[in-house]
Homo-oligomer: A and B are copies of this chain.
Amino acid sequence: MQTGKNAPTMADVAREAGVALGTVSKVVNGLSVGEAYKEKVEKAIERLGYQYNSSGRALRTDRTNIIALIIPNTINPYFALLVHHINIALEKRNYRMLLCFTEYDRNREVEFIQMARQNRVDGIIALTYNPDLTIPEDVPFVTIDRFFSVSVPCVAADNFGGGWLAANKLYELGCRHLAFMRIGSVLTNEPSKRKEGFVSACVELGIPFEVIALDDGTPLSRFQDFLTGHIHGGKLDFDGIFVGTDTLAWQVITMLRQMGINVPEDVQLIGFDGIRMFGDLNPVVSTIAQPVQEIAEACVSTVLSKHLSNVPSLICLPVKYIFGGTTKA
């Protein structure tokens, strides 16, 4: 029962069982073998505690059954959820996950792609921000939330629809003057469309709205300034806010509380993502929830699909509104 330095090999098993090496291989891989042989081999495997060596197998077959997932981190609850569901989808198909955290670092994004190729992973799923990222063409590659080209499938929630839904929901709940707040990468990606959907809906509805979109790294106090700048006569100008992410929504709520403005009485608020407290308790805020499980499934089934060529280049999945206490019921 050794695996470390000198683990038993198929040759050892063959010797122990008194059969040929090829026969052992067949048994291990479930190919048809005479019943008596099969039994002998299985006994020998059991006795020696044989485990196949995946390096040897990979070298021979050019397949590793490993998919690399490149993502900023697992600290952000939305990413944590995504990692979770992608892992489930992979496990179901007997694939392993090689996890790479970029921490939003452009160099790491590049290095991890290189590393994944060195490890001959069978595919890469990536959520990245590097504007100059080059997608290798020789390994199945699927992106999340960011469209590169028609030859690189991108999976994303319906961000435009989500922004539109948020505005309409707020309107439906009685709001007549809205605001959109977000902070994020300067990069134009799928989540950028949240704002477009929101604006489009406001125009459609014919209601006034404000927009503040800060670049990553801007101090949050700018939001504070924005809010205080929109107080007249002790009252906030708007009665509904759509915030780019649940995380930011939470921070905005904290600001509002400190300013003595009540949520949802004075102003209703909708976030985006669908984060839950501790991953599985109640929603943190009222929100437009991403279909994380479907996104994960789409990523995995796409990256593993044999013929990447006839796969859609943009897979856009529906979002839905979820009540989380920051809107009127």
Across the interface, do A117 and B84 meet the contact criterion of CB distance under 8 Å? no
Known: A7-B138, A80-B75, A136-B3. A114 touches B59 (CB 8 A): no
Q: Name the CB-closest residue of B to A73.
A: B84
Q: How far, in whole Å, are A249 and B127 apart by their CA atoms in the complex?
A: 33
Q: How many copies does the complex hold?
A: 2
Across the interface, do A278 and B4 meet the contact criterion of CB distance under 8 Å? no
Q: Name the CB-closest residue of B to A111.
A: B91
A84: B residues at CB distance < 8 A: 73-75, 101
Choose one: B62, B74, B278; the contact of A83 (CB below 8 Å): B74
Is the CB of A173 closer than 8 A to any CB of chain B? no
Is the CB of A25 closer than 8 A to any CB of chain B? no
Q: Name the CB-closest residue of B to A275.
A: B278
Across the interface, do A101 and B74 meet the contact criterion of CB distance under 8 Å? no
Q: Name the CB-closest residue of B to A77.
A: B278
Across the interface, do A279 and B99 meet the contact criterion of CB distance under 8 Å? no
Q: How far, in whole Å, are A284 and B71 apart by their CA atoms in the complex?
A: 25
Across the interface, do B87 and A101 meet the contact criterion of CB distance under 8 Å? yes
Known: A3-B139, A84-B101. A120 touches B55 (CB 8 A): yes
Which of A5, A52, A88, A118 counts the most chain B CB atoms within 10 A? A118
Across the interface, do A98 and B101 meet the contact criterion of CB distance under 8 Å? no
**Per-position binary interface string of chain A over residues 267-297, scored 1 when its CB falls under 8 Å from any chain B CB and 0 otherwise:** 0000000010111110000000000000000
Across the interface, do B7 and A76 meet the contact criterion of CB distance under 8 Å? no
State how many angstroms separate the Cβ of A49 from the closest Cβ of chain B: 9
Q: How far, in whole Å, are A251 and B52 apart by their CA atoms in the complex?
A: 46
List residues 59-117 of chain A with CB under 8 A from any CB of chain B. Answer: 59, 62, 64, 73-77, 80-81, 83-84, 87-88, 91, 96-99, 101, 114-115, 117
Across the interface, do B278 and A117 meet the contact criterion of CB distance under 8 Å? no
A119: B residues at CB distance < 8 A: 54-55, 96
Is the CB of A20 closer than 8 A to any CB of chain B? no
A4: B residues at CB distance < 8 A: 138-139
Known: A83-B74, A139-B3, A247-B278. A55 touches B52 (CB 8 A): no
A83: B residues at CB distance < 8 A: 74
Across the interface, do B62 and A59 meet the contact criterion of CB distance under 8 Å? no
A97: B residues at CB distance < 8 A: 98-99
Is the CB of A309 closer than 8 A to any CB of chain B? no
Known: A87-B101, A281-B250. A3 touches B81 (CB 8 A): no
Q: Name the CB-closest residue of B to A108.
A: B91
Is the CB of A262 closer than 8 A to any CB of chain B? no
Known: A74-B83, A81-B75. A53 touches B120 (CB 8 A): yes
Is the CB of A51 closer than 8 A to any CB of chain B? yes
Q: How far, in whole Å, are A1 and B4 apart by their CA atoms in the complex?
A: 35
Q: Name the CB-closest residue of B to A115.
A: B96
Choose one: B3, B80, B96; the contact of A138 (CB below 8 Å): B3
A136: B residues at CB distance < 8 A: 3
Across the interface, do A117 and B5 meet the contact criterion of CB distance under 8 Å? no
State how many angstroms separate the Cβ of A31 from the closest Cβ of chain B: 19
